[in-house]
Each structure stands twice: as structure tokens, then as C-alpha cells.
Structure 1
Amino acid sequence: MGAWVVPGYTEARELGAGASGRVVLATHEETGMPVAVKYLSERFRSDEAFVRGFRSEARLLGTLDTPHVVGFYEYVEAPRGAAIVMELVDGVALRALIAREGSTGPEAALVVLKGSLLGLAAAHRAGVVHRDYKPENVLVAADGSSKLVDFGIAAGRGARPGVAGTPAYMAPEQWNGAPASPAADVYAATATFFECLTGRKPFSGDNFAE
């Protein structure tokens, strides 16, 4: 039996994959509109905590009405899987641009980051803390505009969701499991800006402990 597919959509190709799931390019069969579908990994389908977190991601994404965050269309859950259907962003991750182009000047960095930072500000106004702002989660279009994506570990402001994030971009309080705060996102955005300017992370290590 093949992998579960959201009814009403035809898959074209995989756009990316991670530990918790994969994202595919698909077409809505009735309208022909291209979309991005994020599927929860099959190995986590029976883990209620992961399913609950996936539902939470969809719910938080649905509260954000801004052009600077990837658009939310629908959440679908069935016995064989769960998926978030989102806007398809025609762009590349900032991580790929840094790898290809190297460091930038401050003006160029701010132009590229502007859209995603406005998305972060909109999230904060809605009481949502992203908790994983980094070059991989900033999608940059051909015209230099950007959008913020992946609210997989986002939390409500003041919540205590536990220690999670990407080590090089986590503020000290995020490591300590303090309540979710916009300040941690500002730290991550500053670390990302630093990386744009220098081509390297502000702090590095060869393993998670470092």
C-alpha cells in the first residue's frame, strides 16, 4: 500500500524532507492551483504528542493573516496520515543563497530578511513565538522578497513547550526551557543577520553539546 495522499490533490515531486515529515509540490485537482503539502512522517503518526504538535502548527499558522508568512489553506487528518496544505512559495531558502553567494553587505542582508522579519513581527502581534528562525526557514523569491516558513515548534507567548530549536540560533533562555518569548526570536534573527554579514554562525561546535 502506497503512502497516504491528501484527497483532492495530485502530487508532482518532493520539495524537501526532515525528521518529522516531508513537503511535496501538489496540484489542487478542482482548481489546478499548485500548493505545498507538508506530511507528518509515518513513523510519528501513532505518536499522539507529535500529532498534537502537528495540529498545533496548523492552528498557529491559520491565525496569521499576513503576506510575509507562508499562507495556510487547510489541515487534513485521517487514519492513515495528517497533512498541512499551504501556499507554494516560488523561492529558495536563504541557507542556499548564503552557501552560493557567501557573505553580503548589511543593506543587502536587510533587504532579503525584511519580509521574514515582518512575518516574525506579525506572529508576535498574534501572540505566537516561532522558536526556529534560521536561514533554512527564510524563503527568498527572485525579486529579493522573503517569507517566514515552518512553524513546527512554534508556541504561544508565555507557554513552556520545553527545550527545542536549532542550537546555533537558540537564545540562552530557550536552552533553559524558559517561557516562549519574542526575545528569543529576535536573538535568532540577529544570529541569522550575523551569518549573512560574515558567512558563518556567531557560535559553532562540532556536536550538539558544544
Structure 2
Amino acid sequence: MDTTLADPSRTLLPPTPPVPASSLPLATAGLRLGPTLGEGGLGVIQLAHQDLLGRDVAVKRLKRGSTTDALARLLHEARMMGCLEHPNVPPVHAVGVDPEGTPVLVMKRVDGDVWRPGGDLEDDVRVLIAVTDALLHAHERGVVHRDLKPANVMRGAHGVVYLVDWGAAWPAGDTAEVAGTPAFMAPEMYAVGPAAPSMDTWARSFSRASSASDFEPHPPTPTR
């Protein structure tokens, strides 16, 4: 029995080709690693300070003993984010390894809170407009996020909205494996097939519904 979709809150990630860590450059030069900000399926996110530029950044580091596939996923996320230039998408600063050879992704630190819909309606609308703008930009660049949900929307300094966690993103039109968070996945995402912007539209609709009421999304029954 396939239990990969049993937990609707779990994010499923697509497989990607292996890449040797030995081919990656040093990405943490000039960084002083600080406390852990969070932890996900691929690794941990740490606060770091870049002395030369006098700024804080976020560093996603793979867990010790991670597989080659995990490295490929990290690089895939970096490529998907790296091709985007939008004020509501955190920019990537570098990707490579730390002095110990651990693969890392260095990106903007979003100092804020996860969006929790259902509060002030005008505020929820403002957040959704920013998210929609970010998605339109990604779709114009040929990228489908595929894991849009309130937990992947953050509000940083000065109220700027950020669409984060691009680990499940995929080039539009390319065949993609099952990925995303089941509670927000469009029906066609439960089977291997081409990634499409409509997948993000579906998830955005569920996010909008949850912001307007006590609606809780549930995964659709996959077709067989």
C-alpha cells in the first residue's frame, strides 16, 4: 500500500539527477554561522552574518549523511529560485559547500512571520495579491511553484510578502513526479505529468478560501 500521501501536511519532493558535491565551490567564505532558524526534510536553515557586507543571511545546510539525491534537490531549488528576479521572491546569494564539504544554499534572510490567513480580510487580500504577482512572474519565467500554501508565505520587514520554499518547483511543461503538499495539490498533481501554472492557481484558490473563512483544505481523492 502506498502511504506517501497519507499525511496531507507533508511536502513531497520530486526526484532529480545526482550531482557530485566535489564539483561545487566554497559558498560560505566570509560567513559566521549562527543559531538554527528552522528545519525541514532536506536540512536545517541557519542564521549567518556576512561580515564584509554587514548583513544577515539564511543558510540552508543539508543534514549530515545526506544522499546524492538530497544534494540534487538542493541544487534544483537553487536553480529554480536563481532564475527569478522579483521583490516577493527571496534572492539566492550563493550555492556550494561549506569548509566541511556540506552542501549549502545561501539566500536572503526573511526576518518575519509565516502568514496565517483568516485575520484581517484587507491584509489577507494584500498578501494574496503579492503572492499572485510572484507566481505570475515565475510562470512568465517558465517555473511552477507546486507547493503554494500559507506556510510557504512569509511577511518580512516593512510588511514585504515573500513566497518561499521553492524545493518542489518545476519547469512548466516538463514531466514532473508527484510533489507538493497533498492538502493543497491539484488533482492532476497526484500522477506523473507535465507541470502547469494551473497547479499554482488551484493552490492559491484554496489559500484564498482559507483566508476568508474557517475552511480547511482536504486532498482530493486521486484518480486511478
Q: TM-score range by the shorter chain?
A: 0.7 to 0.9
Alignment of 1:137 onto 2:157 = no
- Aligned CA distance change for structure 1 residues 83 and 199 (closer, same or farther; 3 Å): farther
Given that 1:111 and 1:144 are in contact with CA atoms closer than 8 Å, whether structure 2 keeps it comes out as no
Given that 2:56 and 2:109 are in contact with CA atoms closer than 8 Å, whether structure 1 keeps it comes out as yes
| Aligned with 1:115 (options 126, 130, 153) | 130
- The percentage of counterpart residues that share the same residue type is 34
How many pairs align? 193
TM-score norm. by structure 2 comes to 0.79
- C-alpha RMSD of matched pairs (Å): 2.0
Alignment of 1:1-210 (within 5 A): 6-44=28-66, 47-77=67-97, 80-94=101-115, 97-98=116-117, 103-104=118-119, 106-141=121-156, 143-203=158-218
- Aligned CA distance change for structure 1 residues 43 and 201 (closer, same or farther; 3 Å): farther
Given that 2:184 and 2:219 are in contact with CA atoms closer than 8 Å, whether structure 1 keeps it comes out as no
Q: Secondary structure at the match of 1:14?
A: strand
Q: Secondary structure at the match of 1:70?
A: coil
Amino acid at match of 1:8: G
Question: What is the Cα deviation at residue 42 of structure 1?
Answer: 2.1
Residue 8 (structure 2) aligns with: none
- Aligned CA distance change for structure 1 residues 123 and 90 (closer, same or farther; 3 Å): same
Q: Secondary structure at the match of 1:110?
A: helix
- Aligned CA distance change for structure 1 residues 106 and 51 (closer, same or farther; 3 Å): same
Question: What is the Cα deviation at residue 204 of structure 1?
Answer: 6.1
Deviations 1:4-52 (A, max 9, x none): x9332112211110121111111012222111111122232xx222211
Could you tell me which runs of 5 or more consecutive residues in structure 1 were left unpaired when the two chains were aligned: 206-210
Could you tell me which runs of 5 or more consecutive residues in structure 2 were left unpaired when the two chains were aligned: 1-26
Q: Secondary structure at the match of 1:55?
A: helix
Greater displacement, 6-15 / 124-133: 6-15
- Aligned CA distance change for structure 1 residues 194 and 43 (closer, same or farther; 3 Å): farther
Partner Cα distance (1:166, 1:31) in 2: 36
Greater displacement, 106-115 / 47-56: 106-115
Question: What is the Cα deviation at residue 163 of structure 1?
Answer: 0.5
Question: What is the Cα deviation at residue 66 of structure 1?
Answer: 1.0
Higher relative contact order (CA 8 A, sep 6+): 2
Residue 17 (structure 2) aligns with: none
TM-score norm. by structure 1 comes to 0.84
| Greater share of residues in helix | 1
Question: What is the Cα deviation at residue 59 of structure 1?
Answer: 1.2
Q: Secondary structure at the match of 2:189?
A: helix
Partner Cα distance (2:131, 2:214) in 1: 19
Deviations 1:62-120 (A, max 9, x none): 110111101111111367211111111222111xx34xxxx246533211222222111
- Aligned CA distance change for structure 1 residues 8 and 55 (closer, same or farther; 3 Å): same
